[in-house]
Homo-oligomer: A and B are copies of this chain.
């Protein structure tokens, strides 16, 4: 356990953990899309709720940062972490909403590479929620987290590239390709956004160690 001259107000760390727990819920809901006969409308509506909950957490975090004189971590790092966790949730919600709006539930199943991308997001959420409580005390195992999160992002990148290869292969008609690509883009951005969270955790760790 690291010694710090700054007051260790636990509520700050709690915001990050709460946001990450919300994101775990979000990725679990989104992953239902990989199941046959998924209720796409319900997925989209529940994601909107989870996303609103995240907006509130982020808002409260910002208020807390603004009204606190000495913060346990650098102000700009906490802003960055809060807004990056928010970005993850925004892209997850957007992906679910587009599947619903575009009527993509008429497809028999999402392309295999899209399911791979969904699995990457579930895995990233699982390690992120485990990492957040370790920010307090700067547990040395955080290093494993950001390395693994970057590795998962590489997996996601590869799945995304191969997904586009399939979409452009002639298997789907042009408008369906465009719809699926919009969804894929949101999934890939969520995957990237998880990496940004991990990079900020790395920055904080390097500063504080």
Contacts and interface: CB of A to CB of B under 8 A. Distances in A.
A102 B169 CA distance: 8
Contacts of A182: 164
Given A66-B206, A161-B97, A179 B168 contact: yes
A108 interface: no
A175 B174 contact: yes
Does more than half of chain A's interface fall in helix, strand or loop, or is it mixed?
Answer: helix
Interface in A166-201: 167-170, 174-175, 177-179, 181-182
A102 B177 contact: no
Copies of this chain present: 3
Interface residues of A, number: 21
A67 B102 CA distance: 51
A101 interface: yes
Given A98-B164, A178-B178, 13 more contacts: A66-B206, A98-B161, A101-B162, A101-B165, A102-B168, A164-B182, A168-B175, A169-B175, A170-B175, A174-B174, A174-B178, A175-B177, A178-B181
